[in-house]
């Protein structure tokens, strides 16, 4: 999975098409990501020790990672990414459009 926690991504498919947000969590076993303020779902909860009130809580649902593209800081757009190996042997993600390191 090329998307990591904390990345800025753009949604390219589904009802949230065109919106951008920060990745809150990745679920690699399910190939899904949770993005801030994207795919809001309503969860009906019972009153518990932590949540005395209970009721309807809105939170982010997951989307498939293929429906999100990394946003390049230079291009300021969703871009495809590649991998470049640096001289010290570490791998970095690079923008396919401009070659900028992400």
For the chain, state the CA radius of gyration. 17
pLDDT at 1: 86
pLDDT value, residue 22: 97
| Residue 74 confidence (pLDDT) | 93
Dump pLDDT digits (tens) for 31-61: 999 999 999 999 999 999 998 999 999 999 9
Backbone angles phi, psi at 23, to 5 degrees: -75, 120
Distance (Å, whole) CA 58 – CA 42: 5
> Is 7's pLDDT higher than 90?
yes
> What's the predicted TM-score (pTM) here?
0.88
């Amino acid at each position: 999975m090329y998307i990591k926690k904390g990345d800025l991504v753009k949604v390219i498919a589904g009802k949230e098409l065109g919106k951008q947000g920060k990745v809150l969590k990745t679920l690699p076993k399910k190939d899904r990501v949770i993005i801030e303020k994207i795919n809001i779902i309503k969860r009906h909860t019972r009153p518990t020790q932590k949540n005395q009130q209970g009721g309807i809580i809105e939170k982010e649902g997951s989307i498939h990672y293929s429906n999100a593209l990394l946003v390049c800081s230079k291009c300021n757009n969703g871009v495809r990414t590649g991998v470049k190996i640096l001289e010290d042997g570490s791998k970095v993600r690079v923008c396919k459009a401009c070659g900028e390191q992400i």
